[in-house]
Chains A and B, each alone.
Chain A
């Protein structure tokens, strides 16, 4: 009698629960999202809402013609530092993909401009 009860409950358990996944959101960045800066930044920094796993978090920065202009990303807790060469004026797109420490992946992108 008890055994049937338990199997029923376990079956119920497995059927329950739809899920969306938790995210490490992009909190803010420097240069600021969508902003224009007068001079080229030495590195682009992204701040996230949760701690990241370095092995599975990355970013790439491309210029107007799609060529890659970054030299790799370094994760430090909740921040990601992306080093860039000296950037000529133009629009740049930052694409990021990160894994938070509670094993959920998020990705996104934004642009910023250098110069007038």
Chain B
């Protein structure tokens, strides 16, 4: 499938790299290396390099024009022809960041054209030489401003941008100079005079140094960019963006392997009697590297047009995933150490396989160490499903829990029981093993795992409900299951750690405006279900929010949540619809639900002194439990 924008971006990037590469190669490598070779083939090579630079600059300008028109048509929803006539292109140029960068790049390309008018090559350290190098670097670096590089906001965005610019320059210099290197080696092989060989050695050595600097820069900046745009292993393996990025990384490693072979094996042989064969190898490798570089540029063109992995739900492709908690488990410490050891041996053996002569022994070592690594890693994996890394879009609101409650009663209570304890009438009648959904084990599964189970069933006993209910309903059910499990543990006051569960997010109407759970962070908050005027005030450092029962209107200057969904959700935590009146919930400054009280329990929270003591106790007790997140809620069990 041909997408014009991707093709144009790729061509533009490739032409920029070819132009900059030819200019920099001519300036830094060819001119110094061929300084003493006063031969016709050296002049012919110089003319070739200039021709490549000219042709590439022409392609840069043409593809830039095409890119501008395509973008103008895209943002104005008009066909291509109209984009120019209607002035959209002019608006894009004048008032968008893309447009400003475009103008700068075209100016730089034209300036490089002027630079190339000089027939005699410039010396690397002269003023024209430095100017040419700077212009070439700008031509490459500005490519970064036209992709996702400039879109990360804030101070981190500047780091991302610098990494992107350095990445573009290093890539352009390395890949762009590969074709000129191949041409130089071809010219040397065809030359008949003896001084050609030292020139080839000198050029190869200079290119090698350039290559090492580029590869190091690409590694560091590539890692930084991956963190910003993919951000996680699930995104790398489970999103189209991440998979393309992984392919790009593999191709990059292949290029580095070839470059390493050039540097470590073939370049030294230029000084021996096998120089001719070595040069042929070098030339061939350089061509292959250049081809790989072009494929990478094509991939980059595609990457720039699809959503970064960070913003896409990953479809996990493997039947297992690593469990971070397991790595810290004491009983698995031996295995963890053995796995790390085996991984180190694998890495060392792979490097040895490339650089040493004893290739077979190295490959054998890789295989044995790999087997040891896999054997030990099996203890740290848990089953995973395609949706395991999906995140809930519901933000754990009262509305979601209430809807989940209704759905649970309709679809799940038959087997799992009305309160999810695994004692539903169907289960008892059919004598089936049904999960107690209030057990601690529920917290070992991510939201995405539960999403999969509900949709596809589990084992032989639980059917899938993916056809019966939609995705949103599944997420609502998961919110209910978590609220229900949290309620059970709050009630049991489990001894495996102070209770600290994410409080549902709410929106309360206060005299000074709307307040959400995020707005009251930093203070204790008390939700009080009331059938009258509510509990006595608790002090300035506690926000009291009233949740009136049906048909009550406390009015006045209190914060209220007037919402039947809130009542339905809070009833889940109370465990009993009928006795909801007077129930109070305490939420700590981190947004975690810490305690529940209802009339009849001692001490009496309606006594401000007793409540103050309870709050002081909670303040002093460190909360260990499922972490809370603002916004989209992640229920993954983490340390």
Contacts and interface: CB of A to CB of B under 8 A. Distances in A.
Given A17-B302, A19-B3, A102-B147, A2 B182 contact: yes
A54 to B, nearest CB: 7
Interface stretch (B292-300, B420-428, B531-539): B292-300
Interface of B: 1-3, 5-7, 10-11, 14, 71, 74-77, 91-92, 95-98, 146-148, 150-151, 153, 182, 240, 287, 290-291, 294-295, 297-299, 301-302, 304-308, 311, 507, 509, 514, 516, 631
Contacts of A54: 95
Interface stretch (A20-28, A66-74, A83-91): A20-28
Contacts of B5: 19
A109 interface: no
28 contacts: A5-B287, A6-B290, A9-B291, A12-B295, A13-B7, A13-B11, A16-B299, A17-B298, A19-B6, A20-B305, A22-B148, A23-B307, A27-B631, A32-B514, A38-B509, A51-B151, A55-B91, A55-B92, A55-B96, A101-B96, A101-B97, A101-B151, A102-B146, A102-B151, A103-B71, A103-B75, A103-B146, A105-B77
Contact of B1 (A18, A25, A31, A35): A18
Contact of B514 (A21, A22, A37): A37
Contact of A6 (B3, B71, B291, B298): B291
Contacts of B153: 50-51, 77-78
Nearest to A8: B291
A103 B295 contact: no
A14 B297 CA distance: 11
Interface residues of A, number: 40
Contacts of B514: 31-32, 37
Given A17-B6, A28-B631, A35 B507 contact: yes
A17 B290 CA distance: 20
Contacts of B14: 10, 13
A46 B142 CA distance: 30
Nearest to B296: A13
Nearest to A20: B306
A3 B146 CA distance: 30
Nearest to B290: A6
Nearest to B95: A55
A110 interface: no
B97 A13 contact: no
A99 B95 CA distance: 12
A101 B150 contact: yes
Nearest to B288: A5
A9 B295 CA distance: 7
Contacts of B76: 56
Contacts of A15: 2
Contact of A19 (B182, B297, B306): B306
B90 to A, nearest CB: 11
A99 B75 contact: yes
A103 B74 contact: yes
B151 A50 contact: yes
A9 B14 CA distance: 12
B96 A56 contact: yes
Contact of B74 (A22, A50, A105): A105
A105 to B, nearest CB: 6
A13 B507 contact: no
